């Protein structure tokens, strides 16, 4: 990677942009399946109902330029977006807490297609420790630091009960984890240089139930 590209990649892209880019990617993939070769931001705009100027602005963070009249070449746009979003590199991760949701995530091989490979999991349950799920070994939580030496991992997936969410986060960070994908409904505290991505399915459920209720009694 040359320094210019590296510089472009290191721009702090706004989070809303990063969340919209996968929409464009999936839409453009669909257009490719339909046999299209070029796409304009106006076309994407019509398909997914987002302002074309917003799409053009979002795509300006990505290292691609469209051609007047024909727009972006679809194959290139897909490759550049997948690369930009980090889906083409494999990022290795540890998962902490093989409960119901943790076990479900271990079984979801789909994450691999988007660049995340869970290479090992940790729990304290004697029925689980020493076994494997979907080919992923489950170790005792006490072995985490030792396994950090053995695996090249910098992401931790947090699916533990809320009572120990902060304690396990502290252990992860002390062991060298640089990003925590937090699936618990607990708001964890981390040092400033550690990335936290909160994905609380329960918060999403709360929003959905509220809106549903609002529509019903309106």
Residues in 47-106 at the binding interface with a second copy, rule: CB under 8 A: 48-50, 85-87, 89, 91, 99-101, 103-105
Segment interacting with a second copy, rule: CB under 8 A, options 69-77, 143-151, 167-175, 196-204: 196-204
Residues in 117-176 at the binding interface with a second copy, rule: CB under 8 A: 154-155, 162-163
Cα 148 to the center of its chain, rounded Å: 21
State the Cα–Cα distance between residues 54 and 14, nearest whole angstrom: 12
Report, in Å, the least distance between residue 68 CB and a second copy: 26
Report DSSP letters for 126-152, one per residue. TTTTT-EETTEEEEEGGGHHHHHHHS-
For residues 123 and 143, the answer to whether their CB atoms sit within 8 Å is no
Residue 66 counted as an annotated binding residue: no
32 near a second copy (CB under 8 A): no
Report how far apart, in Å, the C-alpha atoms of 86 and of each of 83, 113, 153, 178, 218 are.
5, 11, 15, 16, 43
Report, in Å, the least distance between residue 19 CB and a second copy: 5
Nearer to a second copy by Cβ, of 70 and 88: the residue is 88
Segment interacting with a second copy, rule: CB under 8 A, options 71-79, 118-126, 139-147, 184-192: 184-192
Report, in Å, the least distance between residue 187 CB and a second copy: 4
181 near a second copy (CB under 8 A): yes
- Alpha helices (runs of H) in the chain, residue ranges in sequence order: 3-10, 15-33, 41-48, 52-59, 74-84, 100-107, 144-150, 162-175, 201-217
Among 45, 54, 115, 147, binds a second copy (CB under 8 A): 115
- Binding site, annotated residues: 97-102
């Amino acid at each position: 990677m040359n320094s210019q590209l590296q510089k472009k990649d290191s721009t702090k892209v706004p989070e809303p942009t990063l969340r919209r880019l996968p929409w464009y990617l999936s839409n453009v993939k669909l257009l490719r399946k339909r046999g299209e070769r070029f796409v304009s931001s106006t076309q994407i705009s019509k398909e997914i109902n987002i302002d074309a100027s917003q799409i053009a602005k979002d795509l300006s963070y990505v290292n691609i330029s469209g051609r007047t009249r024909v727009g972006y070449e679809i194959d290139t746009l897909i490759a550049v977006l997948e690369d930009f979003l980090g889906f083409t590199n494999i990022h290795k991760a540890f998962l902490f807490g093989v409960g119901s949701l943790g076990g479900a995530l271990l079984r979801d091989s789909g994450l691999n297609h988007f660049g995340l490979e869970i290479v090992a999991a940790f729990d304290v349950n004697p029925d689980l420790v020493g076994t494997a799920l979907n080919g992923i070994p489950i170790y005792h939580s006490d072995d985490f630091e030792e396994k950090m030496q053995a695996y090249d991992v910098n992401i931790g997936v947090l699916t533990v009960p809320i009572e120990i969410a902060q304690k396990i986060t502290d252990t992860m960070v002390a062991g060298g984890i640089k990003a925590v994908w937090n699936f618990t409904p607990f708001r964890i505290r981390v040092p400033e240089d550690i990335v936290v991505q909160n994905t609380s399915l329960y918060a999403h459920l709360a929003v959905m139930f509220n809106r549903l209720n609002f529509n019903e009694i309106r």
